[in-house]
Amino acid sequence: MANKPIVATASLAGCFGCHMSLLDIDERILDLIQLVEFDKSPITDIKNFERKCDIGIIEGGCCNSENVENLKLFRKNCNILVSLGECAIMGGLPAMRNGIPIQECLEEAYLNGVTVDVGDEPIIPNDEELPMILDRVYPCHEVVKIDYHIPGCAPNADLIWDFLTTLVTGKDLELKYETLKYD
């Protein structure tokens, strides 16, 4: 392919498991590199967008101001934006804090938690350079327009492979039952 589609990826509030599933396509990663070029991504270690991208893939939801800024940057710089995994689609495990007031979460994490060193004077970090924690964890589609959702925690490597190769080649997506089966 002379003009390969350009792909960017990022991990927001999640565990990085979706990127691990992307890497779990194993030797097919070499085939994928024949089809696409990666730009801003942990896969390439490129930190900033170098150009407009055709496809952006986001794992994780938004739990702080930095996540929101990064997601909006992806929407601005990617023609197609894909939410990858349950954290990006519904908030996932990080969203378990959504029913707890943020102050209570911070106090448990930094003042009252079992891992707090009682020998030190515990404080809640409040440096202005730290991203502002949001009132709750937001799935990506509640912050920006998302074009496609790939479900799973983490999505099956075959599902990611099938989706990406279908998207970049323009072929019809034919998912096998085993690709979406999670039991």
- The 10s digit of each residue's pLDDT in 112-148 is 888 887 777 888 888 999 999 999 999 999 999 999 9
Examine residue 127 and state whether it is found in any structural domain, yes or no.
Answer: no
Q: What is the pTM of this model?
A: 0.88
The C-alpha angle with vertex 77 and arms to 136 and 153, in degrees rounded to 5, equals 45
Examine residue 121 and state whether it is found in any structural domain, yes or no.
Answer: no
pLDDT of residue 6: 94
Residue 10 backbone dihedrals phi, psi, to 5 degrees: -155, 155
Examine residue 115 and state whether it is found in any structural domain, yes or no.
Answer: no
C-alpha distances in Å from residue 88, one per residue of 3, 19, 117, 120, 156: 29, 12, 33, 36, 15
- The 10s digit of each residue's pLDDT in 74-125 is 999 999 999 999 999 999 999 999 999 999 999 998 888 888 877 778 888 8
Cis (ω within 30 of 0) for the bond into 10? no
Examine residue 123 and state whether it is found in any structural domain, yes or no.
Answer: no
End-to-end Cα spacing for the chain: 38
Question: Which domain does 66 fall in, by range?
Answer: 6-95+136-180
User: Using 50, 70 and 90 to split pLDDT, how confident is the model at 171?
Assistant: confident
Examine residue 100 and state whether it is found in any structural domain, yes or no.
Answer: no
Examine residue 163 and state whether it is found in any structural domain, yes or no.
Answer: yes
User: Minimal CA–CA distance to 150: which of 158, 160, 141?
Assistant: 160
Examine residue 74 and state whether it is found in any structural domain, yes or no.
Answer: yes
Q: What is the CATH number of the domain that holds 159?
A: 3.40.50.700
pLDDT of residue 2: 61
pLDDT of residue 5: 94
pLDDT of residue 183: 63
Examine residue 25 and state whether it is found in any structural domain, yes or no.
Answer: yes
- The 10s digit of each residue's pLDDT in 23-63 is 999 999 899 989 999 998 888 888 888 899 999 999 999 99
Residue 164 backbone dihedrals phi, psi, to 5 degrees: -65, -45
pLDDT of residue 139: 98
| Domains in the chain, number | 1
